[in-house]
Amino acid sequence: MTGDPLVDRAHELASRFLAPRAALADRAAGPPVEQVRHLAESGLLGLTTPPECGGLGASRKVVRDALAAVASGCGVTAFVCYQHLVGCRHLAGCGNGPLKDRLLPDLAAGRRFCSLAFSHIRRPGPPILRARADGDDWVFDGTAPWMTGWGLADDVLLAGVLPDGRSAWALAPLVEGESLRPSPPAHLCAMDASATVSLECRGLRVGPDRQVKAMTPAELAADTAGANLFFTSLSVGVTLAAIGLLRAIGPDAPFADAADALGRELARARAAVDRWDDPATPAEGRGDVTALRAHCIDLGVRASYAAVVASGGAANGLDHPAQRLYREAMVYSLVAQTRDLRVATLDRLVRPGASVPG
């Protein structure tokens, strides 16, 4: 028990429902519909939606801890559902009141599901998805290379770059047609069941009723810092699962010692994340949030690799959880990745034993 009822609810769902079905979900032909339904019934899809819009209005710490619990049970479920939680957070924080009133209650309850397609706007170089104003409408042209949950999601939070350098964000209905075409689902070594596609936009027109916001590059950079903090939860979740697997292998000293050492490091990393997010922490006491996320990525990879090693040759079987956790940890190093995060993660790899940032 963690002391928070929402986090405890997430842990119970992860242990009783998600984890026993994780291997099947990992190899399924499509996204984890039943798992998402259980998350909706538990109310956890409303974590990032304020109570006045039908959600739970959970604190950032509770959202992180609950998502970590889900990730400890089933990686592909966490991978799909974080899209929804992030989309609801952006929508809840926007100034389009009628849009929020119309859609957020259904999104919070899981009657609608939201995905994301905006990672490309953090890429250097010419925009691959552009937006322009046409009267009151925004018109999108180009390609969003990553969108997860095709066939499950009803809406996508889509962003394209405007001529003035700002990014235009809209909640577009996922209806295939001449102006919006998905690719076939990507074949992935992990999260293959997530139904991840690219979206080709050809004159996709979005009216004011679906426009979420426009962000300056500075506002986008600030949001990226917050995203780095949020996405530590995925690596925390896979670390929790790997430690649990190490403990389940047996009480032998090497396995127990490894689990204890990883557990202590995980506790320090989570404390550093919470400290960074605490408004009472002075700026000089927070450290580099990108380096902090890189440490959590590195920890998740090392913990899952430890589970592989401790499991022996059996870990090479597709039914074994250790190899799945190792693949999931790899994916979490790529989520919301920027050049700075790549550099910080590589720095962890060439400086083994570096301390927890912050």
pLDDT, tens only, 97-108: 999 999 999 999
**Residue 231 belongs to some domain of the structure:** yes
Interatomic CA distance for residues 149 and 33, integer angstroms:
10
Q: What is the pLDDT of residues 226-280, one digit of tens each?
A: 888 999 999 999 999 999 999 998 777 788 899 999 999 999 999 999 999 999 9
pTM of the model: 0.95
pLDDT of residue 23 exceeding 80 = yes
User: CATH code at 169?
Assistant: 2.40.110.10
User: What's the gap between Cα 155 and its chain centre?
Assistant: 17
Q: pLDDT band for 330, please (50, 70, 90 cuts).
A: very high
Task: Check residue 21 and give its pLDDT.
Answer: 97
Domain final residue pick, 156, 185, 215: 215
CA angle 347, 238, 322 (to 5 degrees): 105
Domain final residue pick, 171, 190, 215: 215
Task: Check residue 114 and give its pLDDT.
Answer: 97
Considering the domain architecture, whether residues 248 and 343 belong to the same structural domain is answered as yes
Domain final residue pick, 112, 128, 152: 112
Q: What is the pLDDT of residues 197-218, one digit of tens each?
A: 999 999 999 999 999 999 999 9
User: What's the gap between Cα 274 and its chain centre?
Assistant: 18
Share of the chain above pLDDT 70, in %: 98
Interatomic CA distance for residues 305 and 315, integer angstroms:
10
User: CATH code at 52?
Assistant: 1.10.540.10
Arithmetic mean of pLDDT, 77-85: 97
Considering the domain architecture, whether residues 237 and 346 belong to the same structural domain is answered as yes
Token look-up 């099947």 returns: 24
Considering the domain architecture, whether residues 277 and 258 belong to the same structural domain is answered as yes
Task: Check residue 193 and give its pLDDT.
Answer: 97
**Residue 201 belongs to some domain of the structure:** yes
Do 8 and 58 contact (CB within 8 A), yes or no?
no
- What tokens appear for 173 in the block? 């209905």
CA angle 335, 337, 340 (to 5 degrees): 150
Considering the domain architecture, whether residues 74 and 124 belong to the same structural domain is answered as no
**Residue 310 belongs to some domain of the structure:** yes
**Residue 356 belongs to some domain of the structure:** no
pLDDT of residue 329 exceeding 90 = yes
- Beta-carbon contacts of residue 121 (< 8 Å; ≥ 6 apart): 127, 129, 159, 160, 161, 167, 220
DSSP string, 134-184: ETTEEEEEEEEEEE--TTT-SEEEEEEE-TTS-EEEEEEE---BTTEEEPP
pLDDT of residue 291 exceeding 70 = yes
Look at the chain and report how many structural domains it folds into.
3
The parent domain of residue 198 ranges over 115-215
Considering the domain architecture, whether residues 209 and 236 belong to the same structural domain is answered as no
Considering the domain architecture, whether residues 142 and 46 belong to the same structural domain is answered as no
Q: pLDDT band for 354, please (50, 70, 90 cuts).
A: low
Arithmetic mean of pLDDT, 285-314: 94
Task: Check residue 271 and give its pLDDT.
Answer: 96
pLDDT of residue 290 exceeding 90 = yes
Considering the domain architecture, whether residues 207 and 222 belong to the same structural domain is answered as no
Interatomic CA distance for residues 73 and 18, integer angstroms:
5
Considering the domain architecture, whether residues 337 and 231 belong to the same structural domain is answered as yes
Task: Check residue 251 and give its pLDDT.
Answer: 78
Token look-up 């990226």 returns: 224
- What tokens appear for 47 in the block? 């974590």
Share of the chain above pLDDT 90, in %: 87
Do 144 and 197 contact (CB within 8 A), yes or no?
no
**Residue 208 belongs to some domain of the structure:** yes
Interatomic CA distance for residues 244 and 241, integer angstroms:
5
Task: Check residue 356 and give its pLDDT.
Answer: 65
Interatomic CA distance for residues 63 and 183, integer angstroms:
31
Considering the domain architecture, whether residues 265 and 169 belong to the same structural domain is answered as no
Task: Check residue 226 and give its pLDDT.
Answer: 84
**Residue predicted with more confidence, 357 or 239:** 239
Helix and strand element counts for the chain (H, E): 12, 8
**Residue 355 belongs to some domain of the structure:** no
Considering the domain architecture, whether residues 120 and 137 belong to the same structural domain is answered as yes
Considering the domain architecture, whether residues 143 and 238 belong to the same structural domain is answered as no
Considering the domain architecture, whether residues 150 and 228 belong to the same structural domain is answered as no
DSSP string, 30-48: S--HHHHHHHHHTTGGGTT
Query: Shortest CA distance to 339 belongs to which of 217, 187, 169, 221?
Result: 221
**Residue 17 belongs to some domain of the structure:** yes
Query: Shortest CA distance to 14 belongs to which of 65, 89, 86?
Result: 65
User: CATH code at 279?
Assistant: 1.20.140.10
Strands 155-161 and 114-117: parallel
What is the enclosing helix (H) or strand (E) of 200?
A: strand 197-206
